[in-house]
Amino acid sequence: MAGLREYTVVLVVLFVIPTAVLGALPFQCYGCTGRYTDDCISNKDIVNCTRGQDTCMMEVINFKSSLQMRYTKMCTTRSACQQAKSRYSKGCHNAEGAICVTCCNTARCNVRPDPTYGPDWVRLSRRSAGVHVSPGGAVVMTVLTVLAMHLVFH
């Protein structure tokens, strides 16, 4: 029975504990307003969403036929984002005053507008867009994996 006990401990360490720990972390989105899509992708622009906010949203307003855009990124609820998307995205085209809304529901997914809106909606700045990964989840998984390996092989 010692083998079954060790196997159970390994399962708990590898699956139950990470799920509980990572599930307790707040849902995060990028939150800011800028003139380019990558004005708001640094770690300082990551915001913790409040309880019930399960969706990241990006709203793009075209002020002068893609010569002047405003990108607003935020946390919201799925229903509020879908309502905004259905209200505005019908007029989502390269014209003055057009508004496009992108909704997504994975952490920090509101980096770029929906690619189906076309290239005119994705104005990158002169800076290169880097990938910003929060190290918290990776550290937790590494520690738990090392602990599980120690339990299995000792």
Q: pTM for the full model? A: 0.62
Which is more confidently placed, 136 or 21? Answer: 21
Q: Percentage of residues in the chain with pLDDT exceeding 70?
A: 55
| 16 inside domain | no
Give the pairing type, strands 28-30 and 99-104: unpaired
List the domain range (segments joined by +) for residue 35: 27-128
| 46 inside domain | yes
Q: How many domains does the chain have?
A: 1
Assign 4 a pLDDT band (cuts: 50, 70, 90): low
How many beta carbons lie within 10 A of that of residue 50, not counting itself? Answer: 10
Could you give the CA distance from residue 100 to residue 114 in angstroms, rounded to a whole number? 9
Q: Is the pLDDT of residue 84 over 70?
A: yes
CA angle 63, 64, 65 (to 5 degrees): 115
Pull the structure tokens for residue 45.
């622009």
Q: Is the pLDDT of residue 109 over 90?
A: yes
Q: Is the pLDDT of residue 143 over 80?
A: no
Could you give the CA distance from residue 45 to residue 37 in angstroms, rounded to a whole number? 12
pLDDT digits (tens, 9 = 90+) for 39-70: 888 888 999 999 999 999 999 888 875 567 88
Note the pLDDT of residue 2: 57
| 114 inside domain | yes
Residue 77: HSE in the Cβ half-sphere, 13 Å Cα cutoff:
5
| 31 inside domain | yes
Q: What DSSP letter does each residue of 44-99 carry, written as one string?
A: GGEEEPPTT--EEEEEEEESSTTSSEEEEEEEE-HHHHHHHHHHHGGG-SSSTT-E
Q: Are 54 and 27 in contact (CB under 8 A)?
A: yes
| 117 inside domain | yes
In sequence order, the β-bridge partners of residue 76 are: 55
| 84 inside domain | yes
Pull the structure tokens for residue 26.
């707040």
The gap between the terminal CA atoms of the chain, to the nearest Å, is: 16
| 15 inside domain | no
| 34 inside domain | yes
CATH number assigned to the domain comprising residue 76: 2.10.60.10
